[in-house]
Amino acid sequence: MTTAWTRAHAAAIAPESCPSVPKIGNAPRPVGGEDRYYWDMWPVQNRDGTIARLGPREMWMALSAPDRGDPEARHFEADIRWLVREQEGWVDNGAVLPRFSVPYEREWAGSALFDEGRLTLFFTGAGIVGRSRGYQQRLFEASAPVSGDGTIGEWSAPRPSIETLTPEYCAADEHHGEPGRIKAFRDPAFFRDPMDGAEYLVFTASLAATGSDYNGAVGLARRDGSGWSLLPPLVHADGVNNELERAHVVFRNGMYYLFWVTQTSTFAPDANAGPTGLYGMASHSLSGPWAPLNGSGLVLANPADDPRRAYSWFVSAEGIAASFVDDPGAHGFVGAPAPLLQLAFDSETVSLAGEVQAR
């Protein structure tokens, strides 16, 4: 069953009654990466969605690119970097994947699973090698063994997670476009359903059967042997919003929570445009039906007087939300990890509990 995030839901968005992203003070870039941009973070997770430790370390990943003074250009040079979370802050431990011969040009966001001594990275392969600056998107995965002390062994070559689309999904095969207007098939997020042990990839998608240019959706694929089989989307925002980005599912207190992020600029012109923020729905079953969190779907928003404070929230099973510092105060793109936030869950209500204190 696919649930619609409707115009009525969007009309119910009330930013003044929603928690605002706290003001961000000094947010340095990771040690060793002062000359790089960082965005779209996610932790290495256990099968239950909690944050994993590789040996003694809490390991995260983020998209990164050299700081060349042009923040928009970062999307065309992105690769996935290791970030170590330490008491003093973040440390860049270099590129996650070695250089392989691959059909894509660059790496976009995904998720990482640590299970039984093996690390699996699910990510987006963007563009086409040999034809630069394209917006084509496919889902890929690669894995590596991890020793007891957290040392990561040799990575397998990245392989496509999904080879063929079903009629529900629009291919993200455009070469030309602009952020916020392109179609999506990206951001794979691993989820294991604790009710039956089935494994899924939740991802950002675009609905195929539509008459609207604003046809964002949350896609779903189920583990089928060594591969994945596409299922109908969990949620769509047809006629409401073009992009439900960084979609992922968290299981907590017997309920399923589906989160995504979106921006004011990607709402349809004739729909009520909500603030840039974290949105979501809740359900008693992964198959739905899904009910908008807090009545409208809005969970956490950038304030009206600082609409680009942060972006791209990713929520762990502990309720820890990570994001990056975007353009606070309209003083220029920062591109650094934002302070981690703790969310509180109460049935179909999710609220901000505060900032996560340094360990």
What is the DSSP annotation of 14-76? -GGGSPBPPP----PPPBT-TTEEEEEEEEEE-TTSPBPEETTEEEEEEEEEE--S-GGGGGG
Helix (H) / strand (E) element for 213: namely: none
Answer yes or no: CATH 2.40.50.100 is held by domain 3-355. no
Q: Give pLDDT, residue 357.
A: 82
- At 8, give phi and psi (nearest 5°): -65, -40
Question: pTM, whole model, 2 decimals?
Answer: 0.98
- Alpha carbon 18 to its chain centroid, in Å, reads 21
Which residues, at least 6 apart from 11, have a Cβ–Cβ distance to it below 8 Å? 271, 272
CB neighbourhood size of 79 (10 A)? 15
How do 277-283 and 291-292 pair as beta strands? Answer: antiparallel
Residue-by-residue pLDDT tens, the chain, 359 positions:
899 999 999 999 999 999 999 999 989 999 999 999 999 999 999 999 999 999 999 999 999 999 999 999 999 999 999 999 998 899 999 999 999 999 999 999 999 999 999 999 999 999 999 999 999 999 999 999 999 999 999 999 999 999 999 999 999 999 999 899 999 999 999 999 999 999 999 999 999 999 999 999 999 999 999 999 999 999 999 999 999 999 999 999 999 999 999 999 999 999 999 999 999 999 999 999 999 999 999 999 999 999 999 999 999 999 999 999 999 999 999 999 999 999 999 999 999 999 998 76
Tally of CA atoms within 13 A in the half-sphere of 286 that contains its CB: 22
Contact by Cβ (8 Å): 102, 125: yes
